[in-house]
């Protein structure tokens, strides 16, 4: 994806979104619905009710990007919520860049197994 910072936070909006919304409509959803700052809080992912369309809103130094993906077949598989959702944001779910790519590629996040890797902390 062009201009997508790997280090930015990614928030998946859990409510189905009307895909007719453009920049201003999605910025309004972020500020009033998710109670976040669209300029400082990273990228925001929106999916429609049928889960066959996705929009990603993100800010770079000069303005907003709006990425739109429409599937010709199938739907986006949403990640599972934690069974103990106490303290979690009921409106959005934080994703990693890798999780977002897997959702876009059609990989079911429930069946993914991560192998142990060496990491320097």
DSSP 8-64: S-EEEE-S---TT--HHHHHHIIIIIS---TTTS-EEEEE-TTS-EEEEEEE-SSSE
Q: Is residue 17 part of a domain?
A: yes
pLDDT in tens, 27-45: 999 999 999 999 998 899 9
Q: Is residue 64 part of a domain?
A: yes
Q: Residues of the chain whose pLDDT is less than 70?
A: 1-7, 82-88, 121
Q: Is residue 71 part of a domain?
A: yes
Q: Is residue 32 part of a domain?
A: yes
């Amino acid at each position: 994806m062009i201009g997508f910072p790997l280090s930015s936070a990614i928030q998946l909006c859990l409510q189905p979104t009307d895909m007719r919304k453009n920049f201003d409509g999605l910025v309004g959803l972020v500020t009033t619905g998710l109670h976040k700052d669209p300029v400082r809080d990273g990228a925001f992912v929106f999916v429609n009710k049928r889960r066959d369309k996705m929009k990603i809103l993100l800010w770079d130094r000069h303005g907003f990007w709006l990425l739109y993906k429409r599937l010709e077949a199938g739907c986006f598989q949403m990640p599972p919520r934690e069974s103990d959702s106490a303290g979690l944001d009921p409106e959005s779910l934080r994703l990693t860049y890798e999780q977002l790519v897997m959702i876009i590629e059609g990989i079911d996040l429930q069946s993914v197994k991560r192998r142990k890797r060496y990491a320097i902390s």
